[in-house]
Amino acid sequence: MDKKKALEKIAQRLRIHSFKMTTKAGSGHPTTCSSMAELAACLFFDEMRYNIHDPFDWSNDEFVLSKGHAAPLLWAAYAEAGIISQKSLMNLRKITSTLEGHPTPRMKWVKAATGSLGQGLSVGVGLALAMKLGKCPRRVYVVLGDGECAEGAVWEAANQAALAGLDNLCAILDINRLGQSGVTMHEYDLDAYERKFKAFGWNAIQIDGHNIPQILSALKKAKQSKKPTAIVAKTIKGKGVSFLEDRNGWHGKPLNREDLQRALDELGPMPEIDAKKYVRKPNKLKKPQLKRGFRFAKNTYSKETATRRAYGNALVSLGKVNDSVVCIDGDVKNSTYADSFFAAYPKRSFDVFIAEQNMVGIGIGMAARGYLPFLATFAAFLCRAHDQIRMAGYSFSNMKLVGSHVGVSIGADGPSQMGLEDLALFRPIPGCAVLYPSDAYSTEGCVEAMTKYRGLAYLRTSRPATPILYKKGEAFPIGGSKVLKKSQKDKVAVVAAGITIHEALKAYEDLKKDNIPIRVIDAYSVQPLDLKIRTEIAKAGNKVVVVEDHFRSGGLGDALASLLAGEADILHLAVDELPRSGEPHELLEKYGISAEHIKQAVKQIIKKK
């Protein structure tokens, strides 16, 4: 059979599967699937090389479905390729199935969860960068919807792909003209998409997205380009079914049984073809063998050092024992101190400019290809990538994020630069470790712990230099805590982390003079919080003052109150209003989290019955 005919048949099979699956499930996006059936057929059954027995084979080309709501078509392609059974397709969206409504890596071939639109191209950039770094001559294909091209993250990714010369990246735009609630921004103005991608430094090719020869030809041309290529494909939403084609109001709606039958009558019988035969195996490539140690030689500190600086030093040491570590920063590397790593390992360092969403997407992509990305920016600016960070969590991504310049202790730059909600951002993500060191040695310990941990982890670093509290080489396991001061007579426990630990220690000295012994606990592992903290608080009379350089909600205080669940009296010191510019010590004072405030709080809670 000639290739064109075969691919047409396969496309039709994918389309028919999608309609059936979504009707069975009672929900889903069949018309979104239908527009990309020919594109997927060409990609999965002619263009891409992949080993159906191993989704993590280094020799595979990579695929990202950025328009995640077309998941049924993706599952259908995997079924036709022989990766999953065709029968399993009918389990779409069941609670027992990995064939979810939008892709997640619970289905092993999915490298990144999608479904929040406009994120897939960044993941593709990450995968493509990983291939370049590992000298892997494979390619990355990302299918985007037209609606999601309104997302700025797409253009952050487009920028970076062109600047990095990612000729191994191909974006396929499924321009079906209709969004969820109406027409898209540019409808069928394909020139607009071409103009934009070209302006962003890409090669762009317009085609009819239902025409197999045009698709194959464009994919071939893309391989010859020295730039990343965008294939701008004009398609029809609901293609193949007269009462759905190019009709508004059918987004995200499955057909009822009757309509399905009408659709199937129009689509004709399931074409007979064994699509598995058209899957193209890759030539076996050797995966680079990388050192993947996590125990690194610790640095020596004798004087006050900012935790952000210690992070930079730790990363350099880690880089020596772990070749998989890559460092990504968004034009603040001289503030986060990622620049230490940049100087030591320029090939493994990526400044992706001021584009945090894309930074995180790249991290997801590189992690999916076996690298261990450390990403840093100001903690405040990680909010910019909240959606991508959330999706990284949903992707079970082994990525490490670092937020510097946390809290009012940064001083005069003002609230826009202060990370005051970062703990609230990271704590909800299932499985995300949240670490907040207070000195140089605890920073090193935390970096080691987060490297060892397989999953998303967040390190919170501070701007000002802080005194050394711990010993070189001391361990800071995830889920641990440190008791810095204690006695048999403690009347109150003070739980703090980061900058406020130093305030708590000052308060301890003053209170000692007043003959009020307190227990000082460093909750450096904000999540998970050490269960032993409960015992320590119990030993201090079940009275606790918790103090943090963060807004009141969502941070250490909430975490502690939740842990204690009524077992102890709590007084919580935190930032309650929008801070101003000022000196760090003035701000700690003004916003109620200084040593003086801790002293007062301790005296107050002692009085409480």
**Side chain identity at residue 173, one-letter code:** L
Bridge pairing between strands 203-208 and 433-435: unpaired
Cα–Cα dist 503/593, whole Å: 8
Choose, by CB under 8 A, the member of 582, 592, 596, 600 that binds a second copy.
582
Q: Determine if 363 is a binding residue for a second copy (CB under 8 A).
A: no
User: Whose Cβ is closer to a second copy: residue 51's or residue 417's?
Assistant: 417
With beta carbons less than 8 A apart as the criterion, state whether 250 and 238 touch. Answer: yes
Q: Determine if 568 is a binding residue for a second copy (CB under 8 A).
A: yes
User: Whose Cβ is closer to a second copy: residue 12's or residue 114's?
Assistant: 114
Q: Determine if 380 is a binding residue for a second copy (CB under 8 A).
A: yes
Q: With CB under 8 A as the contact rule, which of the stretches 126-134, 198-206, 216-224, 233-241 interacts with a second copy?
A: 198-206
Q: Which residues of 80-109 are buried (b: 16+ CB within 10 A; e: fewer)?
A: bbebbeeeebebbbeeebbbbbbbbbebeb
Choose, by CB under 8 A, the member of 85, 256, 487, 581 that binds a second copy.
581
User: Whose Cβ is closer to a second copy: residue 496's or residue 564's?
Assistant: 564
User: Whose Cβ is closer to a second copy: residue 96's or residue 300's?
Assistant: 96
Q: Determine if 384 is a binding residue for a second copy (CB under 8 A).
A: yes
Q: Determine if 604 is a binding residue for a second copy (CB under 8 A).
A: no
Q: With CB under 8 A as the contact rule, which of the stretches 38-46, 123-131, 314-322, 427-435 interacts with a second copy?
A: 427-435
528 prior amide bond cis, ω within 30: yes
Q: Smallest distance, Å, CB 480 to a second copy?
A: 19
Residues 92-121 that bind a second copy (CB under 8 A): 93-95, 97, 100-102, 104, 106, 113-118
Residues 520-549 that bind a second copy (CB under 8 A): 527, 542
Beta-carbon contacts of 46 under 8 Å, excluding residues fewer than 6 positions away, are 3, 7, 216, 278, 280
Q: Smallest distance, Å, CB 171 to a second copy?
A: 15
Q: Determine if 256 is a binding residue for a second copy (CB under 8 A).
A: no
Q: Is 187 annotated in the active site?
A: no
Q: Determine if 218 is a binding residue for a second copy (CB under 8 A).
A: no
Residues 457-496 that bind a second copy (CB under 8 A): none
User: Whose Cβ is closer to a second copy: residue 29's or residue 239's?
Assistant: 29
Cα–Cα dist 278/6, whole Å: 9
Q: Smallest distance, Å, CB 23 to a second copy?
A: 13
Residues 137-196 that bind a second copy (CB under 8 A): 147-148, 150-156, 159, 163, 179-182, 184-185, 192, 195-196
Q: Smallest distance, Å, CB 451 to a second copy?
A: 23
Residues 57-76 that bind a second copy (CB under 8 A): 68
User: Whose Cβ is closer to a second copy: residue 182's or residue 288's?
Assistant: 182
Task: Report which of 2, 4, 64, 32 is spatially closest to residue 214, judged by C-alpha positions.
Answer: 4
Crossing angle of helices 356-368 and 120-133, rounded to 10°: 50
User: Whose Cβ is closer to a second copy: residue 210's or residue 251's?
Assistant: 251
User: Whose Cβ is closer to a second copy: residue 184's or residue 466's?
Assistant: 184
Residues 313-352 that bind a second copy (CB under 8 A): 329, 331-335, 339, 351
Q: With CB under 8 A as the contact rule, which of the stretches 297-305, 425-433, 493-501, 504-512 interacts with a second copy?
A: 425-433
Q: Determine if 509 is a binding residue for a second copy (CB under 8 A).
A: no
437 alpha-carbon distance from chain centroid: 22
Which residue in the list 151, 156, 356, 444 is annotated as catalytic? 356
Cα–Cα dist 36/74, whole Å: 10
Q: Please name the residue that has the structure tokens 């004709």.
A: 268
- Extended beta strands in 12-153, E state: 62-65, 140-145
Q: Which residues of 435-454 are buried (b: 16+ CB within 10 A; e: fewer)?
A: bbbbbbbbbbbbbbbbbebe
Choose, by CB under 8 A, the member of 132, 287, 320, 386 that binds a second copy.
386
With beta carbons less than 8 A apart as the criterion, state whether 415 and 580 touch. Answer: yes
Q: Smallest distance, Å, CB 271 to a second copy?
A: 29
Distances (CA, A) of 171 to 16, 146, 282, 418, 451: 25, 12, 21, 36, 32
With beta carbons less than 8 A apart as the criterion, state whether 71 and 45 touch. Answer: no
DSSP state of 186: S
With beta carbons less than 8 A apart as the criterion, state whether 491 and 606 touch. Answer: yes
**Residues binding a second copy: number (CB under 8 A):** 116
Q: Determine if 570 is a binding residue for a second copy (CB under 8 A).
A: yes
Rounded to a whole number, what is the distance in angstroms from the first to the last CA of the chain?
86
Catalytic residue numbers?
356
